[in-house]
Structure formats: structure tokens, C-alpha cells
Amino acid sequence: MRTIRNLIKNSKGATAIEYGLIAALIAVAAIGAMSTLGGKISTTFNNVATNMKAS
């Protein structure tokens, strides 16, 4: 019974898991944003390069 009480009182493990989940969510959001913006930026640079060749 004492070990169960100690596990409930110990919040260091729970805090580490929460920080890990937050970091994972931020990473997923950043990857999604970079994927979306990467395609748009690539298209923009290709358009600029094409227009510079035509001039």
C-alpha cells in the first residue's frame, strides 16, 4: 500500500511524459507547416527563375 501511495505522490514521471507529449505535438505541427510552406516557396522560386530566364 505504501508503494502505491508513493507512486501517486511522485509527479516527476508524469511531468516528463507531459513535456515529451508537448514536444512531439510541436514537432508534428512544425513538420506540417514546413511541408506546406516548402511547396509554396519552391513554386515561387521556380516562377522567379523562369521569369528571369525570359527577360
Q: Is it the case that residue 54 has pLDDT exceeding 70?
A: yes
d(CA 39, CA 35): 7
Question: CA 11, 14, 16, 18: dihedral to nearest 10 degrees?
Answer: -130
Query: Rounded CA gap, 17 and 14, in Å?
Result: 5
What global pTM score does this model have?
0.54
Residue 44 has pLDDT above 80, yes or no: yes
Q: Is the pLDDT of residue 29 over 90?
A: yes
**pLDDT grade, residue 22 (50/70/90)?**
very high
